[in-house]
Structure 1
Amino acid sequence: MKKLILSAAIVLGSLSTYAAILPITIEVVKTATIQEEYTEVKLEEVPVAITNALKVAYPNAVLDKAYINAKKEYKLDVTVGDKIGNLFADESGKWIQK
């Protein structure tokens, strides 16, 4: 009986020696968001090419506000039905993905 208990203790003791501690790694992810500076312009100052492109692409859209940045890119706040959103276009009326 003593040999059985001693054998069980040795077997259980040897199983616990295989347990390993994994190193803990911490990853740091840095995210930088660059916000472009837009200044508000009057709706009358928006180029005709942009207003025509807006009428073609979104016939029911209402232009609420317009903004311009240093690159002459326009940010348009529009309302279509009950949805409000932003569109971006260059001064020639081509749409920009942002």
Structure 2
Amino acid sequence: MKKLILSVAILTCGMSTFALCNNMTPNAEITITMNEEFKEISLDKLPEAVIKAVKKDFATATISKAYVNSSEQYKLLITVEKSESTFYIDKDGNWLEEDSIKG
């Protein structure tokens, strides 16, 4: 009788583990935006307003690479204190959010 009760208890525990849902959903949403319409340009072709905006807001920064799209919006790779970041700016020196870039 003890073996029967022990067997039933083991089977019940074993079957209950299959009933548990293990649906784990990620907490963070990952969004990848590809802006393939940008073409690389040389740094000397950047408008003066863009260069002034970078110097004003990032005094110790250097522009590593520059890209432009058909709407004259610029994608800049800027190095600040050994860390490289991507920024977007228009031809008048106004900073842009990545999702406001025109195709």
The aligned amino acid for 2:71 is K
Number of residue pairs the alignment of both structures matches: 68
Larger Rg belongs to: 1
**What's the CA shift for 1:90?**
0.3
Distance in 2 (CA, whole Å) between partners of 1:90 and 1:66 is 12
Matched, 1:62 2:81: no
CA shift at 1:35, angstroms?
Answer: 3.0
Q: Report the 3-state secondary structure (helix = DSSP H, G, I; strand = E; otherwise coil) of the residue aligned with 1:78.
A: strand
Aligned-partner SS, 1:55: helix
Q: How does the TM-score come out when normalised to structure 1? A: 0.64
Matches within 5 A, 1:1-98: 35-98=35-98
Equivalent pairs: percent with the same residue?
Answer: 34
- Give the TM-score normalised by structure 2: 0.61
Please state how far the C-alpha of 1:82 moved relative to its aligned partner: 1.5
Measured against aligned partners, the alpha-carbon deviations of 1:17-62 in whole angstroms (never above 9, x if no partner) come to xxxxxxxxxxxxxx99553410011100000000000000000110
Unaligned runs of 5+ in 1: 1-30
Q: State the secondary structure of the residue aligned to 1:59.
A: coil
Ranges in structure 2 where 5+ consecutive residues have no aligned partner: 1-30, 99-103
- Counterparts of 1:88 and 1:75 in 2: how far apart (Å)? 5
Q: Secondary structure at the match of 2:93?
A: coil
Q: Distance in 1 between matches of 2:55 and 2:33?
A: 32
Structure 1 counterpart of 2:80, which letter? V
**1:64 match: secondary structure:** strand
